[in-house]
Structure 1
Amino acid sequence: MDGRPDRASRIIVDLLRSYAEETFVTQTELARRTGLEQSHISRTFNHRVTLTVPSMLALCDGLGVSPMAVMSEALQDC
């Protein structure tokens, strides 16, 4: 793996970013809620790093969305 996100990862990240935008949660607030660095969230949302399972779970928790709901929606978009 070369560090670039695959298609499924890109779809999940786009969904998470959309959830954040729709609920007006800034990256700074999301960092506070998740314990992830704001710069890491930015790199993730801009597809510069591959989304890991722990990061996905933290982001889902920080946004108050079910990881299963995100995965289900992502599968519909694949």
Structure 2
Amino acid sequence: MKTIHNARYQALLDLLLEARSAAGMTQKELAVRLGRPQSFVSKTENAERRLDVIEFMDVCRGIGTDPYALLSKLDSMARL
């Protein structure tokens, strides 16, 4: 199974989207912070492209969320 279609990867994307929404940030605003086109954020959130670990950390920091806390939350979800 490809990682992009893995349930844990989808949960990670859901957590990122939840964090962006909680920050009151649009895709366009995040894209500007990242220096990327809005389509980068859209394709990532819709699982059309896969984030590598560096991009994940950049996205978290762009949102203003702690990447380690987000991964810890993902790990807790996986243990349920």
Q: Same fold (TM over 0.5)?
A: yes
Where structure 1 has 5 or more consecutive residues not aligned to the other structure, the ranges are none
Equivalences for residues 1-78 of structure 1 within 5 A: 2=2, 4-78=4-78
CA shift at 1:7, angstroms?
2.3
C-alpha RMSD of matched pairs (Å): 1.7
**Match for 1:45: what amino acid?**
E
Structure 1 length normalisation: TM-score? 0.86
Between the two proteins, what is the percent identity of the paired residues? 31
1:28-62 Cα offsets, whole Å, 9 max, x none, are 10011112221011011011112211221111010
Q: Which aligned segments of 4 or more residues in structure 1 are displaced greater than 6 angstroms?
A: none
Are the structure 2 counterparts of residues 5 and 53 from structure 1 closer, same or farther at C-alpha, using a change threshold of 3 Å? farther
Where structure 2 has 5 or more consecutive residues not aligned to the other structure, the ranges are none
The separation in 2 between residues aligned to 1:52 and 1:13, in whole angstroms, is 12
The separation in 2 between residues aligned to 1:60 and 1:28, in whole angstroms, is 15
CA shift at 1:4, angstroms?
3.0
Structure 2 length normalisation: TM-score? 0.84
